[in-house]
Amino acid sequence: MANALHRLANPTRFLALVRRIQPVAGVAALLLIAAGLGWGLLYAPPDYQQGETVRIMYVHVPSAWMALFIYVCMAVASAVGLIWRHPVADLSAKASAPIGAAFTFLCLVTGSLWGQPMWGTWWVWDGRLTSVLILFFLYLGYIALWQAFDDQAKAARAAAILALVGAINVPIVKFSVDWWNTLHQPASVLTMDGPHIHSTLLWPLLLTGLGFTAFYVFVLCLRVRTEILRRKVRIARLAVLSGA
Partner 1 sequence: MTAFWALVRRDLHLALRQGGATMLVLVFFVLAITLFPLGIGPAPEVLTRIAAGVLWVAALLSALMSLERLFQADFADGTLDLLALGRLPMPMAVLAKALAHWLTAGLPLTLVGPPLALALALPVEALPAAWLAMALGTPCLTLLGAIGAALTVGIRRGGPLLALLVLPLYIPTLIFGSAAVDAAAFGLSPAPHLLLLAATLCVALVLAPWAAAAALRLALE
Q: Which is nearer to partner 1, 13 or 154 (CB)?
A: 154
Site stretch for partner 1 (CB under 8 A), options 114-122, 129-137, 191-199, 221-229: 129-137
219 touches partner 1 (CB under 8 A): no
Q: Can you tell me the distance from the alpha carbon of 78 to that of 80, in angstroms, rounded to the nearest whole number?
A: 5
Size, binding site for partner 1 by CB under 8 A: 20
- Give 49's contacts (C-beta < 8 A, 6+ positions apart): none
Q: Which is nearer to partner 1, 162 or 202 (CB)?
A: 162
Q: Output the CA–CA distances (angstroms, integers) from residue 199 to 59, 164, 212, 218, in the order listed.
A: 17, 37, 20, 28
Using an 8 Å Cβ cutoff, are 204 and 58 in contact? Answer: yes
Using an 8 Å Cβ cutoff, are 129 and 172 in contact? Answer: no
218 exposed, middle or buried (CB, 10 Å; 0-12, 13-18, 19+)? buried
| Binding test (CB under 8 A) with partner 1, winner from 123, 149, 175, 203 | 149
197 touches partner 1 (CB under 8 A): no
76 touches partner 1 (CB under 8 A): no
83 touches partner 1 (CB under 8 A): no
| Binding test (CB under 8 A) with partner 1, winner from 8, 9, 15, 140 | 140
The 163-182 contact track toward partner 1, x by CB under 8 A, reads -xxx-xx-------------
